[in-house]
Structure 1
Amino acid sequence: MPTHIFPEQQNLAYQWISQQNKAFNGTPAAFVALNGLSGLVEIRNYLSNVCGANSFDFAVLT
C-alpha cells in the first residue's frame, strides 16, 4: 500500500498540501484549517481513493 502520493518525488508530496486543488476548493492545508479534524479525515479519504487504497494504516505515521 502506498504511503506517499508521490513516492519517488517526496518534494512534490510536501508541496501538494499547499497547492490549489479543485477537490477542496483551494489548498488542502486551508481545507483542514477551515474544517478541522473532519477536514483532515476527508483529505485522508481522498488520498486513499487517489492512491487506490481502501484504507490507510495510521500506524505508519507513528
Structure 2
Amino acid sequence: MRDLEVEVREITTIQVEHCVTVRHDDFEYLGRPYKSLSSVARQITGTKWNGWVFFGLKNSVGK
C-alpha cells in the first residue's frame, strides 16, 4: 500500500518555512514521522500547542 501524501499547510516563522506532509497513518516533518500535528508543533516551538490551531486549520476560540 502506498502512503497518501498531501501537504497540510506551510507556515513561516522567523523566515523559516515548515512543511508537513500528511501520510496515511502519520505526519512527516523533516524526514521524521510524527503521530500528530501537535507533536510537530511542539518540535517546532518547544512548547505544547494544539496542532490544528498552530497550523491555522482550526479557530483557537472553542469552535
Question: TM-score scaled to structure 1, two decimals?
Answer: 0.33
Looking at secondary structure, tell me which structure has more helix per residue: 1
Normalised TM-score (structure 2) = 0.33
Q: Which one has more relative contact order, counting CA pairs under 8 Å at least 6 apart?
A: 1
Question: Is the strand fraction higher in 1 or 2?
Answer: 2
